[in-house]
């Protein structure tokens, strides 16, 4: 099967984001330029904030990367502050990890309408921001929360059940793929995603 060509404008927009992001000398400069990004017109038209991410003072012990902002994240401009964020905080604490020592990011920085899964062109256009963030933060460990994030790091054919539970070397970083907190909420307190997410976070904590 011949791959479909990218939608018109995707490559140019993605290249421009990558160029601007790569030129940012530090986190503060990156946050400023990212906050006015309009590479995805559909998302830019309805967002309240570009959710650039939360970072600690100094080098983070690890980076948590989710999919995209939800309604509360879009309203506040901060990642993981809704129900998923509250559960993530609980499970991080149970695993012995301190969110204050972690950077918290998303693959896509603007909320997709109705909290739908980001489209492939949106991920492509936004990728330059995340690549530069990872370079600037230089954390040794990354936790990819959910399938969209896992695919960003490990490839489009990634199956979460097959890759979770162990680190993967990606550009010299240990990348752990695990469930998104929203899946843990959806399947309930006794569901497999919550138990798996806690187990994976606990395994990550043991490596730090």
Q: Are 142 and 65 in contact (CB under 8 A)?
A: yes
2 to 8, 126, 151, 155: CA distances (angstroms): 17, 25, 21, 18
- Record the tokens describing residue 83, joined without a space: 């129900």
Q: Are 146 and 117 in contact (CB under 8 A)?
A: no
The tens digit of pLDDT for each residue in 139-177 reads 999 999 999 999 999 999 999 999 999 999 999 999 999
**Interacting residues of 115 by C-beta distance below 8 A, sequence separation 6+:** 68, 70, 71
The tens digit of pLDDT for each residue in 108-124 reads 999 999 999 999 999 99
Q: Are 97 and 201 in contact (CB under 8 A)?
A: yes
pLDDT band at 6 (very low <50, low <70, confident <90, very high): very low
Report the C-alpha dihedral over residues 177, 203, 171, 112, rounded to 10 degrees.
30
What pLDDT shows up at residue 58? Answer: 87
The chain-wide mean pLDDT, for the chain, equals: 93
**Interacting residues of 163 by C-beta distance below 8 A, sequence separation 6+:** 150, 154, 177
The tens digit of pLDDT for each residue in 54-109 reads 999 889 999 999 999 999 999 999 999 999 999 999 999 999 999 999 999 999 99
What pLDDT shows up at residue 7? Answer: 44
Map out the domains of the chain with their CATH numbers: 10-207 (3.40.470.10)
């Amino acid at each position: 099967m011949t791959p479909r060509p990218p939608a018109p404008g995707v490559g140019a927009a993605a290249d421009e984001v990558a160029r601007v992001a790569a030129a940012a000398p530090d986190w503060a400069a990156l946050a400023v330029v990212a906050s006015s990004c309009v590479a995805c017109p559909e998302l830019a038209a309805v967002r309240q904030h570009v959710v650039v991410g939360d970072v600690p003072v100094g080098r983070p012990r690890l980076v948590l990367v989710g999919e995209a902002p939800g309604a509360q994240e879009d309203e506040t401009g901060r990642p993981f502050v809704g129900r998923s964020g509250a559960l993530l905080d609980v499970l991080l604490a149970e695993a012995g990890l301190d969110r204050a020592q972690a950077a918290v990011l998303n693959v896509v920085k603007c909320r997709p309408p109705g909290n739908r899964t980001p489209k492939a062109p949106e991920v492509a256009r936004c990728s330059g921001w995340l690549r530069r963030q990872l370079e600037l933060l230089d954390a040794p460990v990354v936790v990819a929360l959910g399938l969209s994030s896992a695919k960003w790091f490990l490839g489009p054919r990634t199956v979460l059940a097959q890759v979770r539970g162990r680190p993967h070397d990606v550009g010299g970083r240990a990348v752990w793929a695990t469930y998104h907190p929203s899946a843990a909420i959806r399947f309930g307190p006794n569901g497999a995603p919550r138990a798996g997410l806690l187990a994976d976070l606990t395994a990550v904590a043991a490596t730090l």
